[in-house]
């Protein structure tokens, strides 16, 4: 036993250059700083790092039916949940948030809110007011104040989504990006995850913005119609044989917020993909820490 515990020649040493070689970068530009990066910088005696300024992101909810928290619901009204989801999503990205509250569905109120947000923020994110019919106000205002990029997307949930640019009203050259997200709560988070999150990270200087995709085995059949990309909410776990398995969180309607709250991932079904059989491998995007 004494020989087994004997110290061998060369053990318990840290060699010069085994961690970082001279001339090699320690932390490259475009990286989202993680706790390990901060420790690495500190180990090199670096107390300050040059970083991008946090984006200023304004958010608002649009809809006459929306009721602020703390007030009693009247007939036909719902509580404004989308703004709180967006605040949580933006906090995960550590961005500066400007909460513009609830805006009523009339052109004058929306236009005033858009002008105010454009004067303060780098990006404006609204929820509601972009579905068929109700989108007329938003589109009209966007055409007056800036440019509309696109309006509909072949995805579920989240088909009605707008993107554009707001011109500054003060004569400056700065422009404000506009994301008009759907009104349904799940669709808000799916479109944020799929489009807005990556855009915000890129605007803030990040080079790697796409979340990683893994594969898991579907525990049960999944219905899917070709012609659109679907993001179904699910729970992925490790099966008895060590392979990851995934199960949907029940009904997948765009207004069923519980389907997001119980999930830890999206099952991503591609544009041309059809029905999935039990036992098939499917693409899965984990969103713990993202959503």
pLDDT in tens, 49-108: 999 999 999 999 998 899 999 999 999 899 999 999 999 999 999 999 999 999 988 889
Same domain membership, residue 266 and residue 131? no
Residue 291 included in any domain: no
pLDDT at 61: 94
Q: What is the pLDDT of residue 133?
A: 63
Which whole number is the average pLDDT over 133-138? 66
Burial category of 180 from C-beta neighbours within 10 Å (exposed 0-12, middle 13-18, buried 19 and up): buried
In this structure, the answer to whether residues 198 and 220 fall within a common structural domain is no
Helix (H), strand (E) at residue 42 = helix 35-43
Query: Is the separation of the CB atoms in 24 and 18 below 8 Å?
Result: no
Q: What percent of the chain has pLDDT over 90?
A: 66
Q: Could you report the per-residue pLDDT of 141-193, keeping only the tens digit for each?
A: 888 898 887 678 899 999 888 899 998 776 667 789 999 999 999 999 999 99
Look at residue 291 in the predicted model and tell me its pLDDT: 57
In the predicted model, is pLDDT for residue 197 greater than 90? yes
Whether 138 contacts 167, CB under 8 Å = no
What's the CATH number where 198 sits?
3.40.980.10
How far apart are the C-alpha atoms of 118 and 200, rounded to whole Å? Answer: 16
Residue 5 lies in a domain: no
123 within some domain: yes
Give the 3-state secondary structure of residue 181.
Answer: strand
Asked whether the beta carbons of 156 and 92 are under 8 A apart, the reply is: no
Residue 217 has what pLDDT? Answer: 97
Residues 168 and 270 in one domain: no
**What gap in Å lies between CA 124 and CA 98, rounded to an integer?**
9
Match 């958010």 to its residue by tokens: 59
Residues 198 and 228 occupy one common structural domain? no
- The structure's pTM equals 0.89
Same domain, 183 and 236: no
Q: The domain containing residue 239 runs over which residues?
A: 214-286
- What element of type H or E holds 3? none
Tell me what percent of the residues of the chain surpass a pLDDT of 70: 94
Residue at which a domain ends, from 203, 235, 261: 203
3-state SS, 48-102, equals CCCCCCCCEEEEEEECCCEECCCCCCCCCCEECCHHHHHHHHHHHCCCEEEEEEE
42 compared with 8, residue with greater pLDDT: 42
């Amino acid at each position: 036993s004494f020989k087994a515990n004997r110290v061998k020649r060369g053990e318990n040493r840290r060699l010069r250059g085994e961690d970082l070689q001279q001339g090699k970068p320690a932390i490259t530009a475009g990286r989202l700083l993680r706790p390990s990066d901060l420790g690495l910088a500190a180990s090199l005696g670096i107390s300050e790092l040059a970083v991008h300024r946090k984006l200023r992101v304004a958010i608002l909810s649009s809809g006459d039916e929306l009721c602020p928290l703390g007030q009693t619901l009247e007939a036909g009204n719902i509580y404004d949940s989308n703004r709180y989801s967006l605040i949580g999503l933006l906090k995960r990205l550590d961005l500066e948030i400007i909460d513009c509250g609830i805006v009523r569905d009339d052109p004058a109120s929306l236009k005033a809110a858009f002008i105010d947000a454009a004067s303060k923020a780098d990006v404006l994110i609204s929820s509601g007011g972009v579905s068929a019919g109700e989108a007329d106000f938003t589109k009209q205002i966007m055409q007056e104040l800036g440019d509309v990029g696109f309006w509909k997307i072949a995805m579920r949930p989240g088909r009605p989504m707008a993107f554009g640019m707001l011109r500054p009203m003060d004569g400056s050259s700065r422009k404000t990006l506009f994301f008009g997200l759907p009104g349904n709560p799940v669709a808000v988070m799916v479109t944020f995850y799929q489009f807005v999150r990556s855009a915000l990270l890129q605007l803030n200087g990040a080079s790697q913005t796409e979340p990683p995709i893994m594969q898991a085995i579907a525990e049960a059949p999944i219905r899917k119609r070709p012609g659109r990309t679907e993001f179904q909410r699910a729970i992925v776990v490790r099966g008895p044989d060590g392979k990851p398995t995934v199960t949907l969180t029940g009904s997948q309607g765009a207004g069923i917020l519980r389907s997001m709250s119980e999930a830890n991932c999206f099952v991503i079904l591609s544009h041309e993909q059809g029905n999935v059989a039990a036992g098939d491998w499917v693409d899965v995007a984990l969103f713990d820490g993202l959503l």
